[in-house]
Amino acid sequence: MSHSSPITRRTFSAILGGAALTAPSIARAQTRSLSVQISAIYRKSFDRYIVPKMKELHNVDVVLSTMLSAEALTRAMGQRANPQISLFTLDEGPWEQGKRLGIWDKITTDTVPNLKGIPERFRDHDGFGSGLYSYMTGFCYDEEALKAAGVPAPSSFFDMWAPGFKNRIAMPQFTNTFAYITLENTSRLLGEDPAKSFDKGFAKLKELRPNIRTFIGPLGQLIQLFQQKEIWLSFAPQLSALQAAGAGLPVKWAAPKEGAVAFAHYIAVPKGAPNREDALKIADLMLSPGYQKALAEIDFMVPVSTQIQFDPAFAKSFPVTPEIIANARTASWTEYNEQRVQLNERWQREIQS
């Protein structure tokens, strides 16, 4: 559907003055399109807030695609010489690898003013991206199913290996960043330095195989698995449990006593991006207090902006407390970025096969 400006005295004069003078006015009124890649796990808030706001404020139609972070990085690498997507969002590890490869362009507070409300720890110190939200990885479990089976709710990370969870755990495929989070956390808790080896982590996860019922791709698959009572437990972020609970399921989230694992999901604009000005506008909108609040209250993300205030009822129900955030440990992404292909192949061979 085409769009045109209303006839005013000014535009009427331009029409009388000749067709050559009307062309810029028509061009300005035309709807622009912007190709954006995001994660499916926050699409609901994106569709409700960002898409209509970009249309309302900037007359931009957002052309949206969703994919896992590793897949998004592969797409960005493949388009490097001729970018087709103007903005990507990726988990911290894949985003960092893209930075190392020189794929991302700089964003600053001059071009993205809402960056000013994002703490330094969630902003790339070289200016090549910003955190959009953060994950807190812990236990997502079906409280009713565990009670009915007489299985205690997990409290320690290694409770996942308990016999009561046989054939009841969902584990990510390695294209899902949470597979690396699980591997890295297992190795560290066993006293292994991932910078040197993941052997202990792989060996321990191999022992978990009898308890693994299935391997998931996108996190959204967890809700269906909980709904069908196929699984009772997954090591996953808070949003998975809260989305399941929002669908009426008895799914809870808790941090292991060893601490949750925290990492961020990043916004990045590729170098040479088409419609770069509109890409910066949508990045600014995604970091605005309004959308950061919507991210939490609609899709249950942990926002990175310091300029929002939750509705009291939501704040009371949100399981990620300041104490959990303070006690969470972060993952090292150096090993992921240096060994991603090899770790993926080993995961397929030793854990998923």
pLDDT tens digits, one per residue of 12-30: 233 333 434 444 444 455 8
Q: What are the structure tokens assigned to 289, written together?
A: 């207090």
Tokens of 167: 């054939």
Cα–Cα distance measured from residue 257 to residue 321, given in angstroms and rounded to the nearest whole number: 14
List, run by run, the mean pLDDT of 10-residue segments along the chain (353 residues).
Answer: 40 37 49 95 96 98 95 96 97 94 97 94 94 96 98 98 98 94 97 96 98 95 96 96 93 97 96 97 98 94 89 89 88 90 96 93
pLDDT score recorded for residue 349: 97
Average pLDDT for the chain: 91
Cα–Cα dist 77/11, whole Å:
45
Q: Please state, as a whole number, how many other Cβ atoms lie within 10 Å of the Cβ of residue 149.
A: 12
Write down the domain spans for the chain: 9-134+264-316, 136-261+319-352
C-alpha 43: how far from chain center: 10
The predicted model scores a pTM of: 0.77
Residue 171 and residue 179 in contact, taking contact as beta carbons nearer than 8 Å? yes
Distance (Å, rounded) from C-alpha 301 to C-alpha 250? 19
From the number of C-beta atoms within 10 Å of its C-beta (0-12, 13-18, 19+), residue 206 rates as exposed
* CATH number for the segment(s) 9-134+264-316: 3.40.190.10
CATH architecture of 136-261+319-352: 3-Layer(aba) Sandwich (3.40)
Asked whether the domain spanning 136-261+319-352 has the same topology as the one spanning 9-134+264-316, the reply is yes
Q: How far apart (Å, rounded) are the C-alpha atoms in residues 236 and 138?
A: 6
